[in-house]
A and B are shown apart, each in its own frame.
Chain A
Amino acid sequence: MSDEIDDIDQAAARWHLGQADDAMDWDGFTAWLEADPRHRRAYDSIARLDARIAAAQPILRQIVPAELAEPARRTARWGWSVAAAAAAAAAVAAIGLGITQFPAKRQDQAEIAYRAPAGQGRTVRLADGSTAALAPGSVLRAGSSRGTPLALEGSAFFDVRHDPAHPLVVQAGGYEIRDVGTRFEVMSGGGMLRVAVAEGRVAIRSPHVAGEVALAAGKVLTAYGDDGTVEVRAARTTATGTWRGGRLVYDDVPLGLVVADIARYGGVPVEIDPGVARRRFSGVIAPGKPAAMVAALAQLTGLDVRTDGNATRLGDRAGR
């Protein structure tokens, strides 16, 4: 008898986990729900359980040991199998000891910060099933549900789960981007914001002016924090995230944002003269040491590189 119940539960779980697929057989699912009232009750239970797990995910991440964790920020990059074996051994010990206790140190909010290390991008899955591909050096702070706005420092490409009932909000550099289920890229840095929509539509709110700007697929918005101006242009390529594929690829992006990306990528201060920060750049910067990346950018743009304190600075050639 309990086997039968287990089968029903597993079937319910399979239907539930298959929902995100475009190939989901909704008619088959309806028929299954109608076939037996136990099916509906089981499914309802599973759906609520899944929502409960998703809501608890940020805390679970802290208290459930990740036995096959991503490589941590170490200077020596271990091979995957070495890190996994070490972590698995630690995990087995930890399960017996720590799982049912509260962690000794409390965080002030049930919030989690996702960081992409210098030189390495990172894709994270948020509690609601959306994904964010973070550019190297970027940080994304998320709450436990879609209702809490995400806070982005740096650049990220978002693939947001369709949910018209619950908009997802990303805050970056004082601006706010609102979306119900699309794919879009945010670049934030140097007092500028750039949003490029690959699919769907987002709404952007500025700290400087009232009202929202709606941005549709194929359009790019660039906002300048220093004077509150905004430009919307048609994109020449589909937004995918400038750093994906391991290189930094820019299509008509203000230098201020490119420099902010390089600084974050390398984890070192890189600046640009305000007079040149708005010049647009299209090109590819190969990843490498920050000095080499800045030199490459300077060469491509005809600018000069100087040292300014402990920062590197890009500017016009003297005398121009």
Chain B
Amino acid sequence: MLRFLVARTGDRAEAEDVLQELWIRVRSVDAGPLGNGRAYLYRAAQNLVLDGARARQRRTQREADWVASGLDAPGAAEPADPRPDAEAEMLAREDAAALASAIAALPEGAGRAFRLHKIEGLSHGEVAARLGISRSGVEKHMAVAMAHLRRALQD
């Protein structure tokens, strides 16, 4: 697990932190029959890594916003946002519009498979049935779609 986390994060210190966190969380879940315990553990680890990355991203964004607001009005007290939910919602819609734009530009087959799976929520098997292709065909379409989207939406 530690080897996986180091490979995933590229940072031994971060990997050890995640492992620590994983251990704490898994111990506190009094789970019944888990089925595939190893897979469960790896998926939980993946989520923690993602959470860490997102938290860092938000922190960097907050710091950038703070600095920017300071530059605009040095010395002024930061006004409390009267409608933080409205702003969050607007940002969410802008983000979705950017995604939708990139999704619209996907190649035809990949785009169809992507929309059915990721937006409509069909499983790979259901998408295969709808499009009259094999499951591995669907998996190929999904890989192509994600690769395209990554390039179009470079973080």
Contacts and interface: CB of A to CB of B under 8 A. Distances in A.
Interface string A45-56: 111111111111
B128 interface: no
A31 to B, nearest CB: 8
A49 B146 contact: yes
B67 interface: no
B143 A51 contact: no
Given A68-B130, A70-B120, 7 more contacts: A9-B147, A10-B144, A26-B39, A49-B150, A57-B119, A66-B115, A100-B97
Contact of B95 (A13, A52, A68, A99): A52
Contact of B143 (A14, A44, A47, A67): A14
B109 to A, nearest CB: 13
Contact of B25 (A9, A33, A165): A165
Nearest to A13: B146
A20 B154 CA distance: 25
B92 A10 contact: no
A106 to B, nearest CB: 8
A26 B147 CA distance: 21
Contacts of B123: 125
A125 B44 CA distance: 20
A26 B3 CA distance: 11
Interface in B111-155: 112, 115-116, 118-123, 130, 139, 142-147, 149-151, 153-155
B31 interface: yes
A109 B7 contact: no
B46 A19 contact: yes
Given A37-B10, A164-B26, A165-B47, A57 B118 contact: yes
B147 A52 contact: no
Given A13-B147, A17-B142, A64-B119, A52 B35 contact: no
Interface in B21-53: 25-26, 29-36, 38-40, 42-44, 46-51, 53
Nearest to B51: A165
A72 B97 CA distance: 25
Interface in A116-166: 124-126, 131, 144, 162-166
A47 B147 contact: no
Interface residues of B, number: 64
B99 A53 contact: yes
Interface of A: 6, 9-14, 16-22, 24, 26, 29-30, 33-34, 37, 40, 42-57, 59-61, 63-64, 66-70, 95, 99-102, 109-110, 124-126, 131, 144, 162-166, 180-182, 199-201, 214, 216-217
A92 B3 CA distance: 47
27 contacts: A10-B144, A11-B143, A14-B143, A17-B139, A17-B142, A17-B143, A33-B4, A33-B7, A40-B10, A43-B8, A44-B8, A45-B154, A48-B54, A50-B146, A51-B54, A54-B118, A56-B92, A57-B118, A60-B118, A64-B115, A66-B120, A67-B112, A68-B116, A95-B104, A124-B121, A163-B47, A199-B32
B44 A59 contact: no
B141 to A, nearest CB: 10
A126 B121 CA distance: 8
Contacts of B50: 47-48, 51
A64 B103 contact: yes
B69 interface: no
A24 B39 contact: yes
The winner among A53, A110, A182 for most chain B CB atoms within 10 A is A53
